[in-house]
Structure 1
Amino acid sequence: MHRYLVLLMRRPQCDPAIVPLHREFLETLRAQGRNELSGPFGDKSGGAYLLRAESLDEACAIAHGDPAYASGGWDITLHEWHAA
């Protein structure tokens, strides 16, 4: 498995009602052993999570299933991450 850093940045049209659904999504990933770490940025502009997946394509498919992304309220960027 590879690690992917998923960065989420809130758009102006972000719906706060999606946040609990996003958190549930992250908890599901954690239960599957795919979410190693997650949390919001201190300035409330977005957040990040560390996702485990076999490939960038798989990581994108998982991240695009995130209600934050599906709602259109957040921009999501993925980067393969090689932790030191």
Structure 2
Amino acid sequence: MLYVAMLPIIDEQLNAKVRPAHLAYLDDLYKQGKVLSAGPFTDKKGGMVIYRAHSFEEAKALAEADPVIVEKARTLELREWNSLPFPLGE
């Protein structure tokens, strides 16, 4: 299953400090096949991560272990996501 984590920034200075650990954490999860994609929003007010996990609980544990969440630089909204198969109708 896929899960989308919305990560709005609540403390810009703390976020800048923790960002290298956040990126290293996501890179490690990507190499494990646990992160499908991630990136910042163009308004620079946060970002999004798409996790691949067996359950909501697993995805939540992964998202909550992210340094930007642990250090409270960002908030977390996690939702299960059904990706549509493309091309549609085939």
Q: Structure 2, unaligned stretches of length 5 or more?
A: 85-90
Q: Return the structure number with greater strand share.
A: 1
In the aligned structure 1, how far is the partner of 2:11 from the partner of 2:31? Answer: 31
Deviations 1:47-78, CA, capped at 9 Å, x for gaps: 00110111111111111100010001100110
Contact 1:14–1:72 under 8 Å retained in 2: no
Within 5 A, what are the aligned runs for 1:46-61?
Answer: 46-61=46-61
- The one-letter code matched in structure 1 to 2:24 is E
For residue 76 of structure 2, what is the aligned residue in structure 1? 76
For residue 12 of structure 1, what is the aligned residue in structure 2? 11
Aligned residue-pair number: 83
Within 5 A, what are the aligned runs for 1:19-58?
Answer: 19-58=19-58
SS in structure 2 at match of 1:75: coil
CA RMSD of aligned residues (A): 1.0
Structure 1 residue 12 displacement after superposition: 3.3
In the aligned structure 1, how far is the partner of 2:82 from the partner of 2:13? Answer: 31
Structure 1 residue 14 displacement after superposition: 4.8
In the aligned structure 2, how far is the partner of 1:63 from the partner of 1:14? Answer: 21
Q: Please report the TM-score for the alignment, with normalisation by the length of structure 2.
A: 0.88
Q: Please report the TM-score for the alignment, with normalisation by the length of structure 1.
A: 0.94
In the aligned structure 2, how far is the partner of 1:60 from the partner of 1:50? Answer: 12
In the aligned structure 1, how far is the partner of 2:12 from the partner of 2:27? Answer: 24
Q: What's the % identity of the aligned pairs?
A: 33
In our comparison, the structure showing a higher alpha carbon Rg is: 2
Q: Structure 1, unaligned stretches of length 5 or more?
A: none
Structure 1 consecutive aligned stretches of length 4 or more whose deviation exceeds 3 Å: none
